[in-house]
Amino acid sequence: MNDLRRHEQALETTSDGDLLRRHRQGDARAFTELVRRHESCLLQHARALLGAGSTYEDAVQDTFLKLAQTPPSIPPEAEGDERVERAHLLSWLHKVTRNSCMDVMRSETRRRRREHEAAVIEGTDGELSSVEEHDTRAVVKREIEKLPPDQREVLVLRLIGDRSYKEIADITGKKIGTVGWLVSVGLKALGEKLEPLLAMGGMSDAALAEEKSRSTRAATSTRMDAVQGEWS
């Protein structure tokens, strides 16, 4: 038991790249550690796309099934750089999750979508309960779930997953400018109701303003590049 615990503790401090290599060599505990580390953020991503009342957990299970059967390889240029190796694995995991969610969305019937939307609306109407007021993070997630899927996805990846604009663009296949625009529009749509909640959750007015500024800069950068291209 002591040897087993020591091995588990060692895995907890092992880099994602090394865990992936061990998994490819048949180390089952390395795979388990990868699932433990990344399951939560993938569930948040899938839920942002499919909604709280869906089988979004199945999409994440499909992702880990693919990881088990056909794990990605670390590019030679990334070998040895723990940060880049981790970013490469995260990008792969989020892309596979997103593709699984897109398959689910395409296969759903209109009736099921209407029922889901009605359930979300019913569950989010009315004033905040006293419990929810003390759980700012849950309320923020609930408000984000009211947004269209494309805005919902990028906001979850940005605000909850703490992914960079470049990483979100890579995961979603959208341009950085488009990601910035979606974040900006999403924040605006949440309006005055979300801003005090974010502040309560630890995001100051200045930080929120800076996030809006970043999204605006990202959204305008693509437009500026396009204009310069036309005049070059």
Q: What is the CATH number of the domain that holds 61?
A: 1.10.1740.10
**Predicted local confidence at residue 163, as pLDDT:** 86
Other residues' Cβ atoms within 10 Å of the Cβ of residue 39: 16
In this structure, of 9-23, 70-84, 134-148, 210-224, the range with the lowest mean pLDDT score is 210-224
Query: What is the residue type of 20?
Result: L
Residues 143 and 103 in one domain: no
The answer to whether residue 121 is domain-embedded is no
* pLDDT over 70 (residue 189): yes
Per-residue pLDDT tens over the stretch 26-84: 999 999 999 999 999 999 999 998 887 767 898 999 999 999 999 999 888 888 899 99
Same domain, 14 and 83: yes
230 — pLDDT class (breaks 50, 70, 90): very low
Cβ neighbours around 97 below 10 Å, total: 26
Is 186 in the same domain as 91?
no
Contacts 24+ apart (CB under 8 A), 140-144: 140/194, 140/197, 140/198, 140/201, 143/190, 143/193, 143/194, 143/197, 144/48, 144/186, 144/190
Domain final residue, candidates 112, 141, 163: 112
Domain that holds residue 73: 1-112
Structure tokens at 222: 């693509």
**107 and 4 within one domain:** yes
Are residue 225 and residue 148 in the same domain, yes or no?
yes
Tell me the three state secondary structure of residue 75. Answer: coil
**Measured in Å, how far apart are the chain's first and last C-alpha atoms?**
68
Q: What angle do CA 208, 37, 71 make, to 5 degrees?
A: 115
Stated pTM of the model: 0.63
Are residue 176 and residue 133 in the same domain, yes or no? yes
Q: Are 53 and 67 in contact (CB under 8 A)?
A: no
**Domain count of the fold of the chain:** 2
Same domain, 22 and 77: yes
